[in-house]
Amino acid sequence: MSPFSLSDKKVYIDVAMMLATLAAGYYSLMTVMDHMGEGKQRRTLQAKGNQIMQKLGRPEVQLDEYEAQLASEIIHPEDITVNFSDIGGLEPIVSSLRETIIFPLLYPNLFTSSSALTGAPKGVLLYGPPGCGKTMLARALAKESGATFVNVKISNLTNKWFGESNKLVAGVFSLAQKCQPSIIFIDEIDAFLRTRSSMDHEVTGMMKAEFMTLWDGLLSASDRILVLGATNRPDDIDAAIIRRMPKRFAVPMPNLEQREAILRIMLKDTVLAPNFPAKALAMQTEGLSGSDLKEICRNAAMVPVREYMREHGGDPAIMAKARTEGYTMRPLTINDFLIGNADTIIDTSQLVVDRSRIDTIENLD
């Protein structure tokens, strides 16, 4: 005979049904609250998107909910502080960017009046080692061309709801159309548009297909929209994407002349000692990128600051005055680079030991 009576079984069934009902109610409530939260977020983004359109001088432009979500990534040309003059050692690339991209974006009728082949390319790829100025070139390109800079972040294109990511991808291009001339910039483009394989997630594959379809199908010859990508792993980018970026610029590690130009730009607002040996410093920084050069300059500039703090840090009156009025930093010397970068990859030993060589190079400046 069963140890459970019919009444006991009925109780267990009722308890199980009650628990299932509570669980269903809980998840339904959470879903409703989630949608309410997303609705509030959409309204906030919509208001922010309208403010951005007003700042761009286009208050009449109406954004849908997907464009509004992406509008926060728009950077107005006036908010970009980087110019081509701030980038040292890349003059050939800058010259080519002016001729093939900026001028066609600024004067489309001039370039397309005689032939459609003279218009700006729809895709440009900047590739090279990390820290060599690819992102700076992209921002300067937007600044010089006066184009709206749409900085696409992959995290903004992903959504937990199926199909929403594709609509966000479409929103990128429709937003760029409403704000043209515009530049759609994708940093580390290999992470998003890498070579397709059978191992790709279904959503990722759909996003890539949507992006390429819109890139080719939505943009007409009259649209002043440029897709600009930057990467240090060009071999990982899908071949179909490479085909859509006919203009490709290699941004290599800086050579001696380029390193010297970069150092002079970085130190232009810093008071330097007389006959500062910029050439000697450039010679001893072989293998460093532009980002590395900026870091060694920052380390050197901190040496006089540390000296000032050690000398006057115990005097509250002097420190209060320095906090409100600032202070005059002593001229930067080559020894500051030796002290500030003693533990970095810069070859400071040559600057210390072979002083006669430095003196000789100083006379060349």
How far is residue 236's CA from residue 120's CA, in Å, rounded to a whole number? 25
DSSP labels, 51-105? HHHHHTT-TT----HHHHHHHTTEE-GGG----GGGS-S-HHHHHHHIIIIIHHH
Helix (H) or strand (E) run with residue 228 in it: strand 225-231
Using pLDDT thresholds of 50, 70 and 90, give the confidence band for residue 1: very low
CA distance 305 to 322: 12
Which of helix, strand or coil describes residue 170? helix
Distance of CA 119 to the CA centre of its chain: 26
Q: What is the pLDDT of residues 131-149, one digit of tens each?
A: 888 888 888 888 888 888 8
User: Rounded to whole angstroms, how far apart are CA atoms 50 and 47?
Assistant: 5
Confidence grade of residue 329 (pLDDT, cut at 50, 70, 90): confident
DSSP reduced 3-state for 114: coil
pLDDT at 356 over 50: no
Q: Which string of DSSP letters, residue by residue, matches 317-341? A: HHHHHHHHH--PPPPB-HHHHHHHT
DSSP H or E segment with residue 30:
helix 6-55
* Interatomic CA distance for residues 298 and 302, integer angstroms: 6
Of residues 116 and 133, more confidence is placed in 133
C-beta neighbour count of 318 within 10 angstroms = 14
In the chain, what are the domain boundaries? Answer: 1-62, 64-250, 256-362
Residue 183 has pLDDT above 70, yes or no: yes
The reply to whether domains 64-250 and 256-362 share a CATH topology is: no
Q: How many CB atoms lie within 10 A of CB 114?
A: 8
Report the chain's mean pLDDT, rounded to a whole number.
79
Residue 282 phi, psi dihedral angles, 5° rounding: -65, -35
Residue 360 has pLDDT above 50, yes or no: no
The structure tokens 């060009």 sit at 234
Task: Report the alpha-carbon distance of residue 178 to residue 245 in Å, rounded.
Answer: 22
Q: Kindly report which listed range (93-102, 104-113, 174-183) carries the lowest average pLDDT score.
A: 104-113
CATH superfamily of 64-250: P-loop containing nucleotide triphosphate hydrolases (3.40.50.300)
Alpha carbons 136 and 89: distance in angstroms, whole number: 13
**Contact by Cβ (8 Å): 89, 254:** yes
Q: Which contiguous run of DSSP H or E holds residue 140?
A: helix 134-145
Helix then strand then coil, in percent of the chain rounded to 5, is: 60, 10, 30
Angle subtended at Cα 177 by Cα 249 and Cα 228, rounded to the nearest 5 degrees:
15
* Predicted local confidence at residue 65, as pLDDT: 79
Instruction: Tell me the average pLDDT across 175-182.
Output: 84
CATH class of 256-362: mainly alpha
Asked which of 39-43, 67-71, 124-128, 345-349 is least confident by mean pLDDT, the reply is 345-349
Phi, psi of 114 (to 5 degrees): -95, -35
β-sheet with 148-152: strand ranges across: 74-75, 148-152, 182-187, 225-231, 123-127, 247-250
Is the pLDDT confidence value at 365 over 60?
A: no
**Percentage of residues of the chain with pLDDT beyond 90:** 2
Q: Measure the CA dihedral 333/335/337/342, to 10°.
A: -170
What mean pLDDT is predicted for residues 321-350? 74
> CA 136 to CA 196: how far, in whole Å?
29
